[in-house]
Chains A and B, each alone.
Chain A
């Protein structure tokens, strides 16, 4: 079970990203969100949403085992253990492990569902 997206419905508004940063960092800042929106304009004129599939590639490549998986199959980065080598960022097939200058450790989707609750276009769901 993971966060899924139908990119064809996305209007690029980024409410999902602000909801994400507020829920997970207590900060209003989509630059600290854990899902990605890539606009492709003017041609072809579509948005591309990228979400974490909880595939575990990040955990596999982590040299210090700082990305444990919980009972529900959700991977999360332990900032205490993380050595900020960025191996997971580079390895992620979806490009959804993020960095921000405020934070030493990268961060990723923990399937909290806050983005789903705030999307007006019904782009996102968990399945």
Chain B
């Protein structure tokens, strides 16, 4: 008995229409845990080398982790892995809600989609009953409407993931939406789902997740909930969620503003968590098992819509980066991105980039189809989201992401295309935050914050300091935080409530029956990180150090305003940071894991395939 797991891997070949299951291999579970660990294991071992991310050979691997759906605070995280159409490398996107738990109750640890359906379909999973069903009537509809239709048709108990027009039209940063507003956002996982002609996945399960030692598990889990409930940070986090970060981020000059040219938006007070709570929030909405829900369900009266959020990241990119200062406009842009099926982070970043191009004269009214694409123009943001999703006019170029768009627009715009590895930066302006910048540079999907949210470390230890401890901190976070993505649980109880990591150890042991220390688990996380790195080398010709560098704006153009005005890093300091990082990771100067490191992690056989 594989305790803590659903027990099966479900494979669906959309080309042939065949469905099969196999028992989850305990050896793989021990070596890669689950969630993103299973994602990269299956992607690395089963994706044909050099596969077209938008072609039938790409895999869409949907994996809960061992903690998903169990009595652990925040046990509601699901990993979706594929080869990224945005970057050409690895995509691992994470989504909360209830779907991950439901997949476990249906008895699965991964659902692996491959091939391409001949016509639009949705995947129907009801425990052991799996069907590929016609979705012709759903194609073309918004993500949110699609979910509602399927809930009405199948029943409230079904947990559903959908794509919107963005995913159907192959927008390279299209997302997958679940629970009316939670997204597997980054890296274009929605475009891959759309390329397979899969509009939605609906899952229901009613099986029990086997627990090795029920009484010990109950005791350990209860201690975790008690610690969360006793946390001094609980009340504020429950009230504002991630939006509570907005004010702080502006005060320290980390709020992406006008395409990362500044770290503080004038008028940011109108976007704060307090204003949001007062003006639009109507219900707190948590992921599975969450005592501290950051999800906020909002009623945006000005625009007549209901939306989940906006989360801090959406406010940062659709708000700050595009210089919108009305929370209702930001919330509406968030709604549009959700329903159109676009990652709000990349979408906001791409639009901000186009705004800067417009203000510099690189783009004209002719290019934009008459839209005055100036910072602060909310109507322009709404219009651009639709143009991107439907690939209309300039939207067809922006739909490829900011790296591609800057290549097309030229005229020096590469310097302010705010991306790494082809993925747009998320919500932390990092001119004066070396460990945060390094986090973006080295993140394994491209410039995303969730692997290492190190900005607080910069604040604590000095923002100008470029020292080895900064690299060490980034590496530590890149092992702890992705470990949560392998376990299928949320990290925010640890980050925001201060939940002791040691409380996870007995819980995981009682659940799985395997006695592992936190360091043992971190070693698995390091293995996952290094295998992911190997995947990049295998799939991206010429991959190496240059791919870990940020755009020139961060080392050539000082911040134009706000608390960090005038700050910029020297290029040699950026290079030095990277050197320190590689050395501490056991990688060579080009960012290759050394043979010794690979052997230490039990990855030598995988390296041979590269």
Give the chain A neighbours of B290 by CB distance below 8 A.
Answer: 11, 13, 15, 120
Contact B288 A120 (CB under 8 A): no
Taking the complex as formed, is B500 at the interface, i.e. its CB lies under 8 A from any CB of chain A?
A: no
Taking the complex as formed, is B238 at the interface, i.e. its CB lies under 8 A from any CB of chain A?
A: yes
- CB within 8 Å: A-B pair count: 114
Q: A39-B156, A118-B222, A120-B234 are in contact. Are A11 and B293 (CB under 8 A)?
A: yes
Name the distance in Å between B374's Cβ and chain A's nearest Cβ.
32
Contact B295 A22 (CB under 8 A): no
Stretch with Cβ within 8 A of B (4 or more), from A41-49, A57-65, A78-86: A41-49
Cα-based distance from A14 to B228 in the complex (angstroms): 16
Contact B105 A31 (CB under 8 A): yes
Contact A120 B73 (CB under 8 A): yes
Identity of the chain A residue whose Cβ is nearest the Cβ of B74 in the assembled complex: A13
Q: Among A28, A31, A41, A120, which residue has its beta carbon within 8 angstroms of that of B71?
A: A28
Taking the complex as formed, is B291 at the interface, i.e. its CB lies under 8 A from any CB of chain A?
A: yes
Taking the complex as formed, is B217 at the interface, i.e. its CB lies under 8 A from any CB of chain A?
A: yes
Taking the complex as formed, is A97 at the interface, i.e. its CB lies under 8 A from any CB of chain B?
A: no
Name the distance in Å between B39's Cβ and chain A's nearest Cβ.
23
Name the distance in Å between A120's Cβ and chain B's nearest Cβ.
2
Q: Among B144, B156, B210, B287, which residue has its beta carbon within 8 angstroms of that of A13?
A: B287
Contact A11 B234 (CB under 8 A): no
Contact B70 A28 (CB under 8 A): yes
Taking the complex as formed, is A121 at the interface, i.e. its CB lies under 8 A from any CB of chain B?
A: yes
Contact B208 A27 (CB under 8 A): yes
Contact A121 B284 (CB under 8 A): yes
**What are the interface flags for B191-227 relative to A under an 8 Å C-beta threshold, 1 for contact and 0 otherwise?**
0000000000000011111110010011001100110
Taking the complex as formed, is A117 at the interface, i.e. its CB lies under 8 A from any CB of chain B?
A: yes
Cα-based distance from A117 to B234 in the complex (angstroms): 16
Contact A11 B206 (CB under 8 A): no
Identity of the chain B residue whose Cβ is nearest the Cβ of A15 in the assembled complex: B289
**What are the interface flags for B272-307 relative to A under an 8 Å C-beta threshold, 1 for contact and 0 otherwise?**
000000000011111111111101010100000010
From B101, B238, B289, B306, name the one whose CB has the most chain A CB atoms within 10 angstroms: B289
Contact A15 B291 (CB under 8 A): yes
Name the distance in Å between B347's Cβ and chain A's nearest Cβ.
20
Give the chain B neighbours of A44 by CB distance below 8 A.
Answer: 282
Cα-based distance from A26 to B306 in the complex (angstroms): 39
Contact B285 A117 (CB under 8 A): no
Cα-based distance from A9 to B282 in the complex (angstroms): 10
Name the distance in Å between A14's Cβ and chain B's nearest Cβ.
6
Cα-based distance from A8 to B299 in the complex (angstroms): 15
Cα-based distance from A25 to B71 in the complex (angstroms): 14
Contact B225 A43 (CB under 8 A): no
Contact B282 A28 (CB under 8 A): no
Cα-based distance from A41 to B306 in the complex (angstroms): 9
Taking the complex as formed, is B189 at the interface, i.e. its CB lies under 8 A from any CB of chain A?
A: no
Name the distance in Å between A34's Cβ and chain B's nearest Cβ.
15
Give the chain A neighbours of B211 by CB distance below 8 A.
Answer: 22, 27-28
Give the chain A neighbours of B229 by CB distance below 8 A.
Answer: 120
Q: Which of A13-41 contact B (CB under 8 A)?
A: 13-15, 18-19, 21-23, 25-32, 38-39, 41
Identity of the chain B residue whose Cβ is nearest the Cβ of A38 in the assembled complex: B156
Taking the complex as formed, is A12 at the interface, i.e. its CB lies under 8 A from any CB of chain B?
A: yes
Q: A11-B290, A26-B214, A121-B238 are in contact. Are A100 and B206 (CB under 8 A)?
A: yes
Cα-based distance from A12 to B295 in the complex (angstroms): 11
Contact B285 A43 (CB under 8 A): no
Name the distance in Å between A15's Cβ and chain B's nearest Cβ.
5
Give the chain B neighbours of A31 by CB distance below 8 A.
Answer: 105, 205-206
Give the chain A neighbours of B71 by CB distance below 8 A.
Answer: 15, 18-19, 22, 28, 118
Taking the complex as formed, is B148 at the interface, i.e. its CB lies under 8 A from any CB of chain A?
A: yes
Contact A41 B289 (CB under 8 A): no
Q: Among A39, A45, A101, A118, which residue has its beta carbon within 8 angstroms of that of B306?
A: A45
Cα-based distance from A28 to B101 in the complex (angstroms): 11
Contact A29 B225 (CB under 8 A): no
Give the chain A neighbours of B284 by CB distance below 8 A.
Answer: 9, 11, 121
Taking the complex as formed, is B139 at the interface, i.e. its CB lies under 8 A from any CB of chain A?
A: no
Give the chain B neighbours of A30 by CB distance below 8 A.
Answer: 101, 105
Taking the complex as formed, is B76 at the interface, i.e. its CB lies under 8 A from any CB of chain A?
A: yes
Cα-based distance from A46 to B180 in the complex (angstroms): 13
Cα-based distance from A26 to B283 in the complex (angstroms): 32
Contact A12 B180 (CB under 8 A): no
**What are the interface flags for A74-103 relative to B under an 8 Å C-beta threshold, 1 for contact and 0 otherwise?**
000000000000000000000000001100
Name the distance in Å between B81's Cβ and chain A's nearest Cβ.
25
Cα-based distance from A77 to B299 in the complex (angstroms): 42
Give the chain B neighbours of A25 by CB distance below 8 A.
Answer: 208
Give the chain A neighbours of B70 by CB distance below 8 A.
Answer: 18, 28
Contact B306 A42 (CB under 8 A): yes
Q: Among B98, B218, B287, B297, which residue has its beta carbon within 8 angstroms of that of A23?
A: B218
Q: A46-B283, A120-B292 are in contact. List 18 more A-B contacts (CB 8 A).
A: A11-B293, A11-B295, A12-B286, A13-B288, A14-B288, A15-B225, A15-B289, A22-B217, A28-B71, A28-B211, A29-B105, A29-B208, A29-B209, A41-B179, A117-B225, A118-B71, A118-B225, A120-B238
List the 4 closest pairs (A to B, CB-CB), nearest first: A120-B291, A11-B286, A13-B286, A29-B208
Q: List 19 A-B contacts (CB under 8 A).
A: A14-B101, A14-B288, A15-B289, A15-B290, A22-B218, A28-B209, A29-B206, A38-B156, A42-B144, A44-B282, A45-B283, A45-B306, A47-B283, A100-B206, A101-B206, A120-B290, A120-B291, A121-B286, A121-B293
